[in-house]
Amino acid sequence: MLKKQLSYRKSIVKHLYFSGPLSSGELSERVGKSLPLVTKILNGLMEEGSVIDTGLAPSTGGRRRSMYALKQDVMYIVSVAMDQFITRIAILDMHNKPVRDVEKFELSLEKNPGALSRLTEKIAQVIQASGIEHEKIVGVGIGMPGFVDSLKGVNYSFLEVPDDSIIEYIGGKLHLPVFIDNDSSLIALAELRFGAARNRRSAMVINIGWGVGLGLILGGELFRGNNGFAGEFSHLPLFNNNKLCSCGKSGCLETEASLLVVIDKVVEGVKKGEITTLHHLSVENVDQAAVDIITAAKKGDKFAVKLLSEAGYSIGRGVAILIHLLNPEVIVLSGRGSTAGKIWLAPIQQALNEHCIPRLASGTEVALSALGYSAEIIGAAALVMENYGKETKRGHGKKAPQAHIQV
């Protein structure tokens, strides 16, 4: 009975994390347990200081209901967002708010055997510097590029570890549960739980960055495919341009639409004398270069707008394929590049007008993410909470260590 009650408590905590304030009736319906039982558990959580009464819900004509929410500081999540060059580490509270400045540092993943060790050390340093009690950290969620098998805890592209899985290696060092997934999948998870894909049954979330990633939401759930590799949108062979892609093939969408391609085109254009404010663009720091180009475009730099529009049109050609295959409710533009905002919409729509059957295209909305560059960090935290309370074996048959959270 105690084990069942603990399971119900954790289920209530998860629903409050993902949905925000809920009434006892709403929680009863979502947990699938009686109202008296849910009320009893809520009272216990409030006595412990884990849940707070946020007051009465707005009137809908009947009796106003009391609403309950998680206390922000009851637990914390270590959230890690990685790409090929830059890693960000944040510690989030139960309202997905960073409790300290996000740690951002360069960490090249390509042919870097020391990357996993450095990542682990950095995470440990951030946890120690936060001063948060170890027992209040529910877990570590990590988004990373590459072919990631989230169940085995393995990345077949980067961060290989000889004997253990990534989650066993990091979890063993930190003594915390660790969960990993592909960066684009976690961006899609963030949009599904907290962003533009919330309450949508089918959505395609495009991660505009150094590649062009894709997270698929089908039937209201994140779809990872058979081995977790679904969504390799970047490597659709759309062009006969003889440009070599990072995957080893040529003509992939990535070769015309990634932010790295845009940066290269800016450098080439400056050499040819294009009129632009980006003459002093530095490619030593690609992260800052991408920010500078997007900022210039938003300020009206015609050359920057032109290059982003060309990339957007190429993305739109890929989106037309997605619409034809999956007929989604919404296409969400998210990730680092989505901060360019409405600049993407016109060229993508133009491509849809030219390459998509109108009856299909008319039923799909193209939306901009409100989460933007924060999406991966939020998605990594959501990954931890998706697994909160589950007693599943991770990696090579070993259980992940469990945090001792008194809720």
In a domain, 302, yes or no: yes
- One domain, residues 209 and 123: no
- One domain, residues 366 and 381: no
In a domain, 124, yes or no: yes
Helix (H, G, I), strand (E, B) or coil at 129: helix
CB 323 within 8 A of CB 361: yes
- One domain, residues 175 and 255: no
- One domain, residues 256 and 362: yes
The reported pLDDT for the residue numbered 404 is: 40
- One domain, residues 29 and 121: no
Tell the burial category of 393 from Cβ atoms under 10 Å away from its Cβ (0-12, 13-18, 19+): exposed
In a domain, 62, yes or no: no
CATH code at 52? Answer: 1.10.10
- One domain, residues 363 and 381: no
The residue type of 244 is L
Task: Report how far residue 317's alpha carbon sits from residue 356's, in angstroms, rounded to the nearest whole number.
Answer: 8
In a domain, 69, yes or no: no
Our CA angle for 70, 402, 121, nearest 5°, is 100
The reported pLDDT for the residue numbered 390 is: 78
In a domain, 154, yes or no: yes
CB 333 within 8 A of CB 344: yes
- One domain, residues 347 and 391: no
- One domain, residues 26 and 86: no
The reported pLDDT for the residue numbered 181 is: 95
Cα dihedral angle (123, 125, 126, 127), rounded to 10 degrees? 90
In a domain, 71, yes or no: no
Which H or E run includes 32? none
Averaged pLDDT in 10-residue chunks for the chain of 407 residues: 78 94 92 91 92 76 77 96 96 96 94 94 96 94 94 90 88 95 96 95 96 95 86 91 87 94 95 94 91 96 97 96 95 95 96 94 94 96 92 45 41
In a domain, 406, yes or no: no
- One domain, residues 217 and 107: no
CB 266 within 8 A of CB 281: yes
The reported pLDDT for the residue numbered 209 is: 94
CB 313 within 8 A of CB 302: no
- One domain, residues 272 and 380: no
The reported pLDDT for the residue numbered 406 is: 39
Task: Report how far residue 206's alpha carbon sits from residue 325's, in angstroms, rounded to the nearest whole number.
Answer: 16
CATH code at 169? Answer: 3.30.420.40
- One domain, residues 366 and 287: yes
Give the chain's length: 407
The reported pLDDT for the residue numbered 329 is: 96
Task: Kindly give, in sequence order, each residue whose CB lies less than 8 Å from that of residue 185, ignoring residues fewer than 6 positions away.
Answer: 143, 148, 150, 215, 222, 224, 228, 231, 379
What global pTM score does this model have?
0.91
In a domain, 67, yes or no: no
Query: How many Cβ atoms from other residues are within 10 Å of residue 386's Cβ?
Result: 19
Range of the domain at 28: 2-57
The residue type of 256 is E
Beta bridge partners of 332: 205, 367
Number of domains the chain is built from:
3
The reported pLDDT for the residue numbered 348 is: 97
Structure tokens at 316: 């739109």
The reported pLDDT for the residue numbered 392 is: 46
CB 228 within 8 A of CB 150: yes
- One domain, residues 394 and 318: no
